Amino acid sequence: MRSFPGPALDIVDRMQRAAAADPARAIAFQGSPGANSHRAATEARPDLAPLPCFSFEDALEAVKDGRAGAAIIPIENSQHGRVADIHFLLPESGLHIVAEYFMPIHHALMALGSGPFEAAYSHPQALGQSRHYLRARGIVPLSHADTAGAAAYVAERGDPNVAAIAPALAAELYGLTIIENNVEDSADNMTRFVVLAREPLARETLAGRQLMTTFIFEVKNIPAALYKALGGFATNGVNMTKLESYQQGTSFAATTFYADIIGAPGDPAVDRALEECAFHSKELRILGSYEQGRARP
């Protein structure tokens, strides 16, 4: 907890005590109170107590250790793409995706002073989503562990010439003044979050719903392996809405793919497609089947 900026510590301590009173009804998130993930936790699961964690690894460990019943993690943003390292962390965690949540993202520029500002602190994702705004004003972007933590750090630092980019709630929590709202470069800025738990959802609880399935696979290192692994989804009419690759290890020869499809095991078409993909792969592992947070075309 001591890694959080000073102004956040009392709030973090209070939230951690509330979560510890009933760990099964706690949801872990990465960041200081007031971060976008905090807001996502309260909106997606208002029945659970939000548990702030300093890093993504800490949030996932809280679920694995039983200090929280679930964790909510951002995995991609419509404007700035994949959240760094999350495609490594999810498979390694051993947890299961049980839900997704889409949240519009709005950033505010906040500070102790009124400007002009030499620099602005925030999470790299938020800085990337506001890069045109910052560049136009000659404000140097400086990375911080999370958006609300950046606001707390600016409050703690006491320098009126630096600002933070964070959700408006952070200004209220840490005594900053909002200089300008909606400083993100795109009005339709959206982040997709996933909710993770120790156990997957039971198949019977998913009946009759529009489902997504997320999985990873590593194709065999032979010509046309990826083409063959994906062919089953086309021939069986299974819509793949996401496919991303990333390297495993230092050989740059073993490529793992992260994929989302519409549907779930138990559907004959999905079963056939996954079976064909597995045949042409060294490994295929399902990370979760869950209800769609928003309809896909």
Among 191, 213, 214, 256, which one carries the catalytic annotation?
191
Cα distances (angstroms) measured from residue 56 to each of 83, 86, 285: 11, 8, 21
User: Residue 100's closest CA among 72, 142, 126, 67?
Assistant: 72
> Burial, 138: exposed, middle or buried (Cβ in 10 Å; 0-12, 13-18, 19+)?
exposed
Q: Are 106 and 168 in contact (CB under 8 A)?
A: yes
> Burial, 215: exposed, middle or buried (Cβ in 10 Å; 0-12, 13-18, 19+)?
buried
**Phi (first) and psi of residue 95, to 5 degrees:** -90, 170
Per DSSP, which regions of 208-280 are E strands? Answer: 211-219, 240-247, 255-262
Q: Are 246 and 87 in contact (CB under 8 A)?
A: yes
Distance of alpha carbon 216 from alpha carbon 281, whole angstroms: 10
Cα distances (angstroms) measured from residue 252 to each of 29, 216, 222, 255: 32, 17, 14, 7
User: Residue 282's closest CA among 253, 242, 260?
Assistant: 253
Which amino acid is present at 74?
A: P
Among 54, 193, 217, 257, which one carries the catalytic annotation?
193
Told to judge if 191 belongs to the known catalytic residues of this protein, a careful annotator would answer yes
Told to judge if 241 belongs to the known catalytic residues of this protein, a careful annotator would answer no
Residues labelled catalytic = 191, 193
